[in-house]
Amino acid sequence: MPRIIKNTQIVEDHWQVLTLAENETPEAVALPAAPTLLPLAVWLARRDEIVTAGLAHGVWLDAGEGPEAVADDLERLPVIGVNFPKFTDGRSYSSARLLRERYTYRGEIRALGDVQQDQLFFMRRCGIDAYALRADKDIEKALAGLAVFSDTYQAAVDQPQPLFRRRTARGQEAA
């Protein structure tokens, strides 16, 4: 069974990711029975069907697809994938923050695609809590990527207070 990083642990994972082949359409593609992250287009086209059938599916958002499209469905989605089509495509960092901070999504946000050790710290800060590491990379070693820095300047999902607010508090304690 494939393994992912969940929070700070390596765990076995049963979620599949559906990608449409060229000859498949969102309307006609066969819906798997096993828990699957569906492309946004499939979710939008088949939402009622999936809900009625009681299938426990999630959705994955490509880098150009914002969370706005699933804003009303968040309670039905145990997992939302955010795709990184390549290492240097940073759009899904914004998607993850919006999911957590604007839409208060509490389920799992999973990084998919070109996911490597050196993005993990930033991903975690943006509210991503599961990481499907690229298959050719050493997942054990990659864990180190979660804990690169011991502190952060900016407010983000993991630390809602920017350093300057905490610095002041520390200074007052010291005084």
Partner 1 sequence: MYRYDSTDQQLIDERVSQYRGQMERHLAGELSADELRPLRLQNGLYIQRHGPMLRIAIPYGMLSSAQLRKLAEISRRYDRAVGHFTTRQNMQLNWPQFEETPEILAELASVEMHAVQTSGNCIRNITSDQFAGVAPDELVDPRPYCELLRQWSTFHPEFAFLPRKFKIAVNAAAQDRAVIRAHDIGLEVVSDERGEIGFKVLVGGGLGRTPILGKVVREFLPRRHILSYLEAILRLYNRYGRRDNMYKARIKILVQALGSEEFARQVEAEWAHLRDGETTVTDAEFDRIAGHFEPPAWETLPAEDPVHNTRLTTDKAFANWVKRCVHAHKTPGYAAVTLSLKAPGVAPGNISDAQMIAVADFADRFSFGELRVSHEQNLILSDVKLGDLHELWQLARGQRLATANIGLLTDMICCPGGDLCALANARSLPIAEAVNDKFDDLDYLYDIGDISLNISGCMNSCGHHHVANIGILGVDKNDEEWYQITVGGEQGNDAIIGKVIGPSFYAQEVPEVIEALIAVYLERRTASERFIDTWQRVGAEPFKARAYAGRDRRRTAKVADKESQAKEIVNA
The residue ranges that bind partner 1 (CB under 8 A) are 66, 87-91, 93-94, 97, 102, 116, 118, 121-123, 125-126, 138, 141, 144, 148-156, 160-165, 167-168
Q: Give the nearest distance from C-beta 42 to partner 1 in angstroms.
A: 22
Distance CA 19, CA 32 (A): 12
Residue whose CB is less far from partner 1, 53 or 144: 144
Distance CA 124, CA 146 (A): 7
CA distances from 86 to 26, 58, 135, 138, 145 (A): 24, 22, 14, 18, 18
Residue whose CB is less far from partner 1, 32 or 162: 162
Q: Give the nearest distance from C-beta 60 to partner 1 in angstroms.
A: 17
Both structure tokens of 33: 């029975």
Percentage helix, strand, coil for the chain under 3-state DSSP, each rounded to 5: 40, 20, 45
CB 82 within 8 A of CB 111: yes
Q: Give the nearest distance from C-beta 95 to partner 1 in angstroms.
A: 8
Q: Give the nearest distance from C-beta 88 to partner 1 in angstroms.
A: 5
Q: Give the nearest distance from C-beta 158 to partner 1 in angstroms.
A: 9
Could you write out the DSSP letters of every residue in 86-133? STT--HHHHHHHIIIIIS---SEEEEEES--GGGHHHHHHTT--EE--
